[in-house]
């Protein structure tokens, strides 16, 4: 049976070396399964972005859903990224409710439904991804008799928060068009079940009844491509680059942060916590360096441009206060890297400082734990990954003093403890292996 994957973004990108899978978990998780079974990936893709065809030898067909600029701005820039994204990450003051954005969201979800039902053949399985397409499972159920899976990659908030949405019931009903609904953690499953119950759908165990149908809701944590990251960890070129980064750091210890520049990632709070470390634990001055990598993201949304300004300002202040002729306390890289380059940063860092204010999973934490030589993972307790990475040092990303104290502890951790924790973490990441994710989800859907 072929597979139809539906997501806002296409799974390929153009690099100087040619065509490559898109960065991030989704393409890595789903392309191999799609290649193995054959099938279609249906996507909208960024407004103005050039459509990229899959490599010639690929068994994957790419189907684009054409949108007008207005539709794209309303659906993606508006409802998805000014309403659902901040709401699900508990940034309620950032939610901008506008009826016309919901109308665009509905129209684009319908457009997707038409494209998918046109491509669908009897027996094909449909797998819908993420918060851009909450209404799609329901719209598909009206049109085709397919097994439909839906996966939500960001946190499903508590039902009290979700109820802020005037269209909450319609959105939940849309999701419940699926046969199987997946989340990264049991907490999100629980939140979703409570939300469904609030809107009057009977819930029994992990099942929601919708008329005659029963919808299953399950936790399926996403992992990373462990084989690929093991190769990268052992690659001599990556090793040489990591040593060059250590020389660049020019300090005994190197702390690393890697994120899309998004207000949910806590980059600003993290810089403040690092500043607090330098103020409250002055023996680290001259002995520690912090590299923050921030990937440009969603720059058409004002909140992201504003965040960039504030992060620039904080970085400038830290440098102004602490920079010495023989020591650069902070380097801030606003760019996208290849996986090889990222791996070199992971190999070079003594401490990964990954402190989202809220995050569905956070794959960077997994990538670091799996690639590092002997580092310490300091991780936000509010990231989905904290549910699985028990040997990380967990922090509350809102508590600057607590974060500074934990950083100090991480920087001083004896070698034996570091090795023990990292070994255990690698085992945890191994268990979350990415190919298994899609297979487990689809097996559950088709079983
Ligand atoms: P999110 O999906 O919210 O961006 P994740 O941590 O789950 O957060 O996934 C981010 C993905 O993007 C990871 O696979 C990571 O390797 C990749 N990534 C993050 N920053 C960069 C960067 N500067 N250059 C290239 N890839 C990056
Ligand atoms: C998160 C979302 C994805 C999204 C990614 C990048 O991981 O869960 O659906 O693709 O961020 O964001 P962007 O808006 O650039 O696609």
Distance CA(394)–CA(425), nearest Å, equals 13
Ligand 2 atom nearest to CA at 153: 8
pLDDT of residue 297: 92
| CA–CA distance, 277 with 279 (Å, rounded to integer) | 5
Please answer whether residues 158 and 191 qualify as being in contact, where contact means their C-beta atoms are separated by less than 8 angstroms.
yes
Distance 154 CA to ligand 2 centre (A): 9
Closest ligand 1 atom number to CA of residue 293? 23
Given 89, 101, 153, 241, which residue is catalytic?
Answer: 153
The torsion angles phi and psi of 42, rounded to 5 degrees, stand at: -105, 125
Do 17 and 160 lie in a common domain?
A: yes
Q: Ligand 2: which atom is nearest the Cα of residue 80?
A: 14
Q: What is the pLDDT of residue 5?
A: 97
Domain that holds residue 311: 226-431
Q: Mapping DSSP to helix (H, G, I), strand (E, B) and coil, where does residue 8 land?
A: coil
Q: What b/e readout covers 71-108, taking b as 16+ CB neighbours within 10 angstroms?
A: bbbbbbbbbbbbbbbbbbbeeeebbeeeeebbebbbeb
CA–CA distance from 429 to each of 37, 50, 151, 179, 393 (Å)?
Answer: 26, 35, 20, 28, 16
pLDDT of residue 14: 73
pLDDT at 51: 67
Helix (H, G, I), strand (E, B) or coil at 288: strand
Give the residues of the chain that fall short of pLDDT 50: none
Distance (Å) from CA 25 to ligand 2 centroid: 10
Q: Which ligand is closest in space to the CA of residue 25?
A: 1
Q: How far is the CA of 432 from the centre of ligand 1 (A)?
A: 17
The per-residue pLDDT for 20 is 74
Is residue 225 within 6 Å of ligand 1 at its C-beta?
no
- Ligand nearest the Cα of residue 384 is 1
Task: State whether 30 and 145 are in the same domain.
Answer: yes
- Cβ of 14: how many Cβ atoms within 10 Å? 11
CA 155, 405, 292: angle at the middle one, nearest 5? 60
Q: Which residue's C-alpha comes closest to atom 10 of ligand 2?
A: 9
Radius of gyration for the alpha carbons in the chain, expressed in angstroms and rounded: 22
**Can you tell me which atom of ligand 1 is nearest the CA of 224?**
14
Same domain? 210 vs 241: no
Indicate the top mutation candidate among 150, 259, 260 to test ligand 2's pocket, ranked by most ligand atoms within 8 A of CB.
260
* CA of residue 362 to ligand 1 center, whole Å: 8
- Ligand 1 atom closest to 28 (CA): 14
How many independent structural domains does the chain possess?
2
Residues 56, 73: Cα–Cα separation, whole Å: 32
Distances (CA, A) of 330 to 205, 279, 319, 335, 437: 49, 14, 7, 16, 37
153 is catalytic: yes
Asked if residue 411 and residue 438 are part of one domain, the reply reads no
Note whether 104 and 81 are within 8 A (CB): no
**174/258 same-domain check:** no
Q: Which ligand is nearest to the CA of 129?
A: 2
- Distance (angstroms) between ligand 2 centre and the Cα of 48 equals 17
Is there a catalytic annotation at residue 89? no
Q: Give yes or no: residues 117 and 215 share one domain.
A: yes
ipTM over 0.85: yes
DSSP state of 357: S
- Give the Å distance between the CA of 200 and the centre of ligand 2: 31
Q: Where are the alpha helices (DSSP H) in 13-98?
A: 25-37, 69-72, 85-88
Q: Whose CA is nearest to atom 17 of ligand 1?
A: 24
> For residues 124 and 95, is the Cβ–Cβ distance under 8 A?
no
Is 153 near ligand 2, meaning CB less than 6 Å away?
Answer: yes
Are 164 and 118 part of one and the same domain?
yes
Secondary structure element (H or E) that encloses residue 61, with its range: strand 60-64
- pLDDT score of 52: 73
Here the CATH number for the domain that contains residue 107 is 3.40.50.2000
Residues 175 and 62 in one domain: yes
Report the C-alpha gap between 441 and 430 in whole angstroms: 17
Which ligand has the nearest atom to the CA of 265? 1
Q: Are residues 216 and 252 in the same domain?
A: no
Among 21, 26, 151, name the best residue to mutate to test ligand 2's pocket (greatest count of ligand atoms within 8 A of Cβ). 26
For residue 213, the CA-to-ligand 2 centroid distance in Å is 31
Residue nearest to atom 4 of ligand 2 (CA): 9
Regarding the beta carbon of 154 and ligand 2, being less than 6 Å apart is answered yes
Nearest atom within ligand 2 for CA of residue 7: 9
Residue of 41, 48, 152, 153 best suited for mutating to test ligand 2, as the one with most atoms within 8 Å of CB? 153
Q: Are residues 34 and 175 part of one domain?
A: yes
pLDDT digits (tens, 9 = 90+) for 233-281: 999 999 999 999 999 999 999 999 999 999 999 999 999 999 999 999 9
Residues 200 and 283 in one domain: no
User: Are 198 and 239 in the same domain?
Assistant: no
């Amino acid at each position: 049976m072929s597979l139809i994957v539906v997501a806002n973004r296409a799974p390929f990108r153009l690099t100087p070396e040619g065509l490559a899978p898109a960065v991030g978990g989704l393409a890595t998780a789903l392309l191999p399964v799609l290649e193995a079974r054959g099938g279609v990936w249906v996507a909208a893709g960024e407004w103005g972005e050039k459509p990229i065809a899959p490599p010639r030898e690929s068994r994957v067909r790419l189907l684009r859903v054409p949108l007008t600029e207005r539709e794209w701005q309303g659906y993606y820039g508006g409802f998805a990224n000014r309403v659902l994204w901040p709401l699900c990450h508990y940034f309620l003051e950032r939610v901008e409710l506008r009826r016309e954005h919901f109308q665009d969201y509905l129209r684009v979800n319908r457009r997707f439904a038409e494209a998918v039902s046109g491509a669908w053949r009897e027996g094909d399985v449909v797998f819908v991804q993420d918060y851009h397409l909450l209404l799609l499972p329901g719209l598909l159920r009206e049109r085709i008799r397919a097994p439909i899976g839906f996966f939500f990659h960001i946190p499903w908030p508590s039902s009290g928060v979700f109820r802020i949405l005037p269209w909450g019931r319609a959105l939940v009903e849309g999701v419940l068009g699926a046969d199987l609904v997946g989340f990264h953690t049991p907490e999100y499953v629980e939140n979703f079940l409570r939300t469904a119950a609030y809107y009057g759908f009977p819930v029994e165990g992990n099942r929601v009844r919708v008329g005659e149908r029963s919808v299953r809701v399950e936790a399926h944590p996403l992992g990373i491509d462990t084989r690929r990251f093991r190769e990268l960890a052992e690659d001599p070129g990556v090793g040489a680059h990591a040593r060059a980064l250590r020389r660049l750091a020019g300090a005994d210890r190197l702390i690393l942060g890697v994120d899309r520049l998004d207000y949910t990632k806590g980059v600003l709070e993290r810089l403040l916590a690092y500043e607090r470390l330098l103020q409250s634990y002055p023996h680290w001055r001259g002995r520690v360096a912090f590299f923050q990598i921030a990937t440009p993201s969603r720059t058409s949304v004002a909140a992201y441009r504003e965040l960039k300004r504030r992060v620039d300002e904080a970085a400038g202040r830290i440098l102004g206060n602490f920079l010495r002729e023989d020591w650069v306390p902070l380097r801030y890289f606003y760019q996208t890297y290849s996986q090889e380059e990222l791996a070199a940063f992971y190999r070079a860092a003594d401490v990964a400082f990954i402190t989202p204010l809220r995050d569905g999973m956070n794959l960077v934490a997994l990538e670091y734990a799996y690639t590092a030589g002997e580092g310490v993972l300091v991780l936000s307790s509010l990231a989905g990954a904290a549910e699985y990475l028990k040997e990380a040092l967990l922090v509350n990303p809102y508590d600057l003093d607590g974060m500074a104290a934990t950083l100090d502890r991480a920087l001083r951790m004896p070698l034996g403890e570091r090795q023990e924790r990292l070994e255990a973490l690698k085992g945890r990441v191994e268990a979350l292996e990415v190919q298994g994710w899609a297979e487990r989800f689809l097996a559950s859907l088709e079983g």
